[in-house]
Amino acid sequence: MRQKRSEIYSVELSGTKDIVRTDQGDDKEKYRGLKNNCLERKKKNQEEDFQKELQLDDHKLNNRELEKKYGTNIIMGLSSTRAAELLARDGPNSLTPPKQTPEIVKFLKQMVGGFSILLWVGAFLCWIAYGIQYSSDKSASLNNVYLGSVLVLVVILTGVFAYYQEAKSTNIMSSFNKMIPQQALVIRDSEKKTIPAEQLVVGDIVEVKGGDQIPADIRVLSSQGCRVDNSSLTGESEPQPRSSEFTHENPLETKNICFYSTTCLEASTSPIGTVTGMVINTGDRTIIGHIASLASGVGNEKTPIAIEIEHFVHIVAGVAVSIGILFFIIAVSMKYRVLDSLIFLIGIIVANVPEGLLGTVTVTLSLTAKRMAKKNCLVKNLEAVETLGSTSIICSDKTGTLTQNRMTVAHLWFDNQIFVADTSEDHSNQVFDQSSSTWASLSKIITLCNRAEFKPGQENVPIMKKAVIGDASETALLKFSEVLLGDVMEIRKRNRKVVEIPFNSTNKFQLSIHETDDPHDKRFLMVMKGAPERILEKCSTIMINGEEHPLDKSTAKTFHTAYMELGGLGERVLGFCHLYLPADEFPETYSFDIDAMNFPTSNLCFVGLLSMIDPPRSTVPDAVTKCRSAGIKVIMVTGDHPITAKAIAKSVGIISANSETVEDIAHRLNIPVEQVNQRDAKAAIVTGMELKDMSLEQLDEILANYQEIVFARTSPQQKLIIVEGCQRQDAVVAVTGDGVNDSPALKKADIGIAMGIAGSDAAKNAADMVLLDDNFASIVTGVEEGRLIFDNLKKTIAYTLTKNIAELCPFLIYIIAGLPLPIGTITILFIDLGTDIIPSIALAYEKAESDIMNRKPRHKKKDRLVNKPLAVYSYLHIGLMQALGAFLVYFTVYAQEGFLPHTLINLRVEWENDNVNDLEDHYGQEWTRYQREYLEWTGYTAFFVGILVQQIADLIIRKTRRNSIFQQGLFRNKVIWVGIASQIIIGLILSYGLGSVTALNFTMLRAQYWFVAVPHAILIWVYDEVRKLFIRLYPGSWWDKNMYY
């Protein structure tokens, strides 16, 4: 249901409360305490504050009412005493900084996050076990001390690494603070004074000149040609004129309010724009202050990949602890000593925890981020890399993101025809007829009736990139003329300007009179441009094919048809006309007077129309198409006019060519909008005013039922509401933008993407990713990289988990069958943190499989990083095969030395008895405790080598999940082979280089033992190729659903 609007227009931003007034005393002492006072005014519930609305009616008040409301005088300003009181009450004109998490807290979180807490527990249990052993036997082995120390070292190293790799926390407020002008010109005690902008208070009378930033929210009292650049606040490309008149109920739309941090520009009505106004809001109370509070107040949601990794950690930790405790109980019940059972528990935990995986994930994300940086995508938050790949909805700003952020000539109308102008970045392909005499006249008007000029010293700069002094429309016309006609300044010199009437909102036209460069015609040429309907009123003839014809009803109707068509495209339309002044009435010595208007301004000749638009980037339509094929919905969210927004949306493909809105259907059927069935429309255009009166349920219905949506004339709070609405649809939402107005939504989104060139500091700080080339098309690259990183992380986790079974089974067999321990916990750590690290990272370099951009975005609640097929296949298929292969090497070593497999069963007690030095093997050889211990370390090394060889096969099969290795290319990812080489080299170093180091438990293994597990490695590769073959042959079958991870 639509609610009744209040008399006072509500800006949809959070409200504020007054700061408690401080005691008066020495001014300096009071000022020192102001910032602390600001910090004390925090809201109890910020979420409620977001829903509050700022009641603003100052734009409706006359000067006398303003003076009464703020206790000031427009001529004399505030008194210094009153200003000091207000400054003490309200605090300085600055934005409250956010609380920062201390660096030590960030560091400690890394020390206890993820698997670290399990490893800490394991380390302390090791030291406790050694303490118990040492209390009863002073010569107890130091193995438990070594193991505990290694576990602590692992935690510290991975924690430090994660801390330094962690993305820098965003600091929205710092960028807002940079916007504060250092000084402000204010009237106090009837005198003009320059004071720090921080000391401005409500009721101050300030003066701002062109080029300065507006120092606070001000109500305009007088203006001389002032225009403000609101593009970063509202998304409007055109500079907005400012005057003292109340023109709109909405304070964001009215001309008599200037907003803090926007820029005062020069306008065409005066050499420099100036404005005098009354301060109505300062600091956090300003519109920009509310946006800042929205951005800093919006909590950082966990990224999808962070949720997935947390989910994975919980699963693995739960399995490790559960199995550890279960077998601890079994061991104790089987009469094992509690101390031995405790060591066994530690072994189970270490075997189940992939200690190097989280570090590998971070490195993998970092590598992808670096790869994306080369493609002009700067990733600030590493986890955002994968989030972009999960994105199902992109909410994109229009100005500067989908468009070029510069006004460009789009269409021309002359000789009763509409011509399309080239709106590409270089204007190099103009296809309209330039031989027409009418075009010669129109181009001359465009060139001469223009105050814009190129800044000097840009001779070698391309025309379209040259800096210009002038507003956006005149800049577009200047560059258009320069491309088509050549040196505009030279043309102007040959046609000297005699007199000029600049454009203003009253006349709605710009006029200038020139001498001409025609030596045979010395008449003055009057040229005029402006609002088409106003220009047409001043004309009695129209030029067609170079000849003047009477402006009758038929030609006027043709004009109106063209005007409405161009206006309907969302373009800004200008009319152009001229008049050659009779030489007998206006001789060369004639003195023109703009005040007396001693020259004609009627009965002119209408020449043509020209329309301008901020055109879409050339790469955007293709990018939007690719997003569609990837199952991603693109929604435009802009502060610009609905007609303009709809035109751009159609031109880039956000609204398809055959899609209609409710308004389109109503126009086609010539019926009222209310009679149209909403379900018949495929696209929706929703304005901020409509959104303001919608319930959340109505918004959810629009987001759910329409695939093509444009939100226009939206406020920053509404952008937040839209993002939250998309997130209620269980969508992963990416928000793109470049303005200050985008920063709250950028922060709230699952991933915020800011523009690097045109983007404001606030937008860049709020974002997780910055597009260095401001190219929306780069997002498609990011989506592919994001999907690829998720695929590759799956492969990495599958590769890492596989060996866990091979590492776990020795402890289970050790406790159940009583065999000598096949592998030690320190040896396991050398696998997890030694031989497996580089291969795990190598999978990050794997190229995409063929289907990556033709599938729907993954569902964040259903498509998990670690799912049932991955766990089953890694643990119970390849994992068990690896365990069998490693045991084969283990049994081969023992059999070679005289202990056949059946003789090892239940041998553990005698084997570990330090008092037994004559243990006989199958051949009657006696073994001392030291010899048995050395053979046990040889068994560790053999089991280690068995896992290592099979992990090489495991690494190769993880290159793909569906395609054959031969489809993917065995040597396409050369880093994989670097990983394989690293495994072999580390294994050789541990066995032959460090085999004499007792604490490491490695020995120099005979060469033939390295080849025992090779058949198992080949079997693993063949088995996986068969799995992939059946997945490809029978898509959607039971096999596909259960064997594709």
- Is residue 279 within 8 Å of residue 258, measured between CB atoms? no
Q: Identify the pLDDT of residue 456.
A: 87
Q: Which residue has the higher pLDDT, 232 or 982?
A: 982
More confident residue, 339 or 579: 579
Residue 808 pLDDT > 50:
yes
Residue 953 has pLDDT above 70, yes or no: yes
- In angstroms, the first-to-last Cα distance of the chain is 47
Rounded Cα distance between 59 and 71, Å, is 17
DSSP classification of residue 16: -
Residue 953: CB atoms within 10 Å: 25
User: Which pLDDT score is estimated for 204?
Assistant: 96
C-alpha to C-alpha distance for 648 and 606, rounded to whole angstroms: 29
Render pLDDT for 559-573 as a digit per residue (tens, 0 to 9): 999 999 998 888 889
* Composition of the chain by helix, strand, coil, percent to 5: 50, 15, 35
Tokens of 820: 């000598």
Report the alpha-carbon distance of residue 945 to residue 435 in Å, rounded: 82
- DSSP β-ladder status, 919-920 and 926-927: antiparallel
Of the two residues 275 and 10, the one the predictor is more confident about is 275
Lowest mean pLDDT among 29-38, 57-66, 281-290, 526-535: 29-38
Average pLDDT score over residue span 377-405: 84
- pLDDT of res. 174: 42
User: Which of 383-387, 403-407, 807-811, 915-919 shows the lowest per-residue confidence on average (mean pLDDT)?
Assistant: 383-387
The beta-carbon contacts of 890-894 under 8 Å, at least 24 apart in sequence, are 890/810, 890/822, 890/939, 890/942, 890/943, 890/946, 892/942, 892/1009, 892/1012, 893/935, 893/938, 893/939, 893/942, 893/1005, 893/1009, 894/820, 894/935, 894/939
**How far is the C-alpha of 1041 from the C-alpha of 1045, rounded, in Å?**
8
Contact 572, 530 (CB under 8 A): no
pLDDT at 28 over 60: no
Does the predicted TM-score (pTM) go above 0.85? Answer: no
Amino acid 619: pLDDT:
87
- Which of 34-43, 158-167, 246-255 shows the lowest mean pLDDT across its residues? 34-43
Rounded to 5 degrees, what angle do the CA atoms 855, 376, 737 make?
75
pLDDT at 40 over 60: no
Residue 741 near residue 232, CB atoms below 8 Å: yes
Asked whether residue 299 carries a pLDDT value surpassing 70, the answer given is no
> Between 157 and 906, whose confidence is greater?
906
Give which of 814, 953, 807, 849 is closest to 320, Cα–Cα.
Answer: 807
- Identify the band that residue 15 occupies on the pLDDT scale cut at 50, 70 and 90: very low
Burial 695-712 (b: 16+ CB within 10 A, else e): eeebbeebbeebbbbbbb
Question: Which tens digits make up the pLDDT trace of 790-806?
Answer: 899 899 999 999 998 99
Q: pLDDT by residue (tens digit) across 624-655?
A: 999 999 999 999 998 888 888 998 999 999 99
> Does the pLDDT value for residue 138 go beyond 80?
no
CB 572 within 8 A of CB 612: yes
Cα separation, 440 vs 418, in Å, equals 16
Question: Looking at per-residue confidence, does 663 or 506 come out higher?
Answer: 663
* CA atoms within 13 Å, Cβ hemisphere of 20: 9
Answer with the residue of higher pLDDT: 237 or 599: 599
- C-alpha distances out from residue 198 to 283, 286, 302, 592, 878, Å: 8, 13, 36, 48, 67
Distance CA 78, CA 94 (A): 20
Region 244-252: mean pLDDT is 87
State which of 350-359, 495-504, 860-869 shows the largest mean pLDDT: 495-504
Write down the pLDDT at residue 431: 67
Average confidence (pLDDT) over 665-689:
90
The model's confidence at residue 348, banded by pLDDT at 50, 70 and 90, is confident
Query: Quick check: helix, strand or coil at residue 89?
Result: helix
Lowest mean pLDDT among 119-123, 167-171, 212-216, 888-892: 167-171
Q: Where are the alpha helices (DSSP H) in 456-549?
A: 472-485, 488-494, 532-537
The pair of structure tokens assigned to 777 is 């098309």
Instruction: Place 328 in a pLDDT band, splitting at 50, 70 and 90.
Output: confident
Confidence at residue 405, expressed as pLDDT on a 0 to 100 scale: 78
Quick one: tokens of 408?
Answer: 């460009």
Partners of residue 511 on adjacent β-strands: 501, 528
How large a percentage of the chain has pLDDT more than 70? 88
Does residue 20 or residue 472 have the better pLDDT?
A: 472
Find the mean pLDDT for residues 300-304.
Answer: 65
Backbone angles phi, psi at 209, to 5 degrees: -110, 165
Whether residue 1015 has pLDDT greater than 50: yes
Mean pLDDT comparison of 172-181, 651-660, 993-1002, highest-scoring range: 651-660
pLDDT number for residue 41: 39
Give the pLDDT band (50/70/90) at residue 79.
Answer: very high
Q: Are 258 and 239 in contact (CB under 8 A)?
A: no
Question: What was the pLDDT predicted at 256?
Answer: 92
Length of the chain: 1045
Which residue would you say has higher pLDDT here, 400 or 534?
Answer: 534
Q: How far apart are CA 303 and CA 309, in angstroms?
A: 10
What is the predicted pLDDT for the residue at 798? 94
Q: Which residue has the tokens 């001000």?
A: 218
| The pLDDT value given to residue 469 | 83
- pLDDT over 50 (residue 332): yes
Q: Any idea which residues carry the catalytic annotation?
A: 397
- Helical spans, DSSP H, in 754-818: 761-766, 778-816
- d(C-alpha 204, C-alpha 424), whole Å: 46
Cα(348)–Cα(339) distance, rounded to whole angstroms?
14
82-91, 634-643, 829-838, 992-1001: segment of lowest average pLDDT:
992-1001
Task: Work out the pLDDT band at 943, boundaries 50, 70, 90.
Answer: very high
In this predicted structure, what is the pLDDT of residue 422?
A: 83
Least confident of 319-323, 783-787, 849-853: 849-853
What is the predicted pLDDT for the residue at 1? 33
| Eight-class DSSP state of 23 | P
Query: Residue 167 above 70 pLDDT?
Result: no
633-637 and 393-396 as β-strands: parallel, antiparallel, unpaired? parallel
Nearest to 446 by CA among 388, 399, 416, 491: 491
In this structure, of 169-183, 311-325, 540-554, the range with the lowest mean pLDDT score is 169-183
Give the model's pLDDT for residue 1004.
Answer: 92
Q: Give the pLDDT of residue 23.
A: 34
Find out whether 585 and 526 touch, Cβ atoms under 8 Å.
no
Q: What percent of the chain has pLDDT over 90?
A: 45
- How many Å apart are CA 212 and CA 194, to the nearest integer? 14
| CA–CA dist 261, 233 (Å, integer) | 9
In three-state secondary structure terms, 544 is strand
Averaged confidence pLDDT in the chain: 84
Torsion from C-alpha of 242, 243, 247, 248, nearest 10 degrees = 40
Going by their DSSP bridges, the two strands 769-771 and 509-514 should be labelled as unpaired
The CB density around residue 547, as the number of other CB atoms within 10 Å, is: 10
Q: Return the half-sphere exposure (C-beta side, CA atoms, 13 A cut-off) of residue 617.
A: 19
**Average pLDDT score over residue span 379-389:** 79
| Closest alpha carbon to 350 in 314, 315, 323 | 323
E strand or H helix at 372, and its extent?
Answer: helix 357-373
Q: Band of the pLDDT at 352, cuts 50, 70, 90? A: confident
CA 153 to chain centre: 36
Q: Lowest-confidence range among 86-100, 267-281, 360-374?
A: 267-281
Whether 907 has a pLDDT exceeding 60, the answer reads yes
Of the pLDDT bands very low, low, confident and very high (cuts 50, 70, 90), residue 1037 is very high
Domains defined along the chain, listed by start: 10-97+175-297 (2.70.150.10), 377-403+617-774 (3.40.50.1000), 408-613 (3.40.1110.10)
> pLDDT tier at 51 (50, 70, 90 boundaries)?
very low
